[in-house]
Amino acid sequence: MELIVEQPAAQWYKSQMELDEGDSLRIYVRLGGCGSVHPGLSLGVIKEEPRKAGLSHKVDGVNFYIEEDQLWYLENKSLTISFQEQYEEIVMSVS
């Protein structure tokens, strides 16, 4: 199980959320949306410092992380966050 944030995705988040080096971005489970793992749940992001990170990946000076108590969502799989340039959107894939 791991968290992979591709560089183009990290750059998109830095630009869109006005993140600076040293900032942290929490990936969390939220109600609603089109998640591929658990029907009725999806992943969201918020600028927030970690309390007890279960997985993390630092890219371009930004710490992307998932809290330990949210790891159940991944079902022992990995999360890859990428940016699709042709659609100008973020894709979160659990595999």
* Domains, the chain, ordered by start: 3-94 (2.60.300.12)
Structure tokens at 34: 């089109």
Mean pLDDT of 56-85: 96
- For the chain, the average pLDDT equals 94
Q: Per residue in 68-79, pLDDT tens?
A: 999 999 999 999
Q: In what order do the strands lie in the sheet with 24-31?
A: 41-47, 24-31, 62-67, 53-59
pTM of this structure: 0.92
Are 75 and 37 within 8 A, CB to CB?
Answer: yes
Q: State the pLDDT confidence band at 32, using cuts at 50, 70 and 90.
A: confident
pLDDT at 49: 98
Residue 95 DSSP SS3: coil
Asked whether the predicted pLDDT for residue 37 surpasses 80, the reply is no
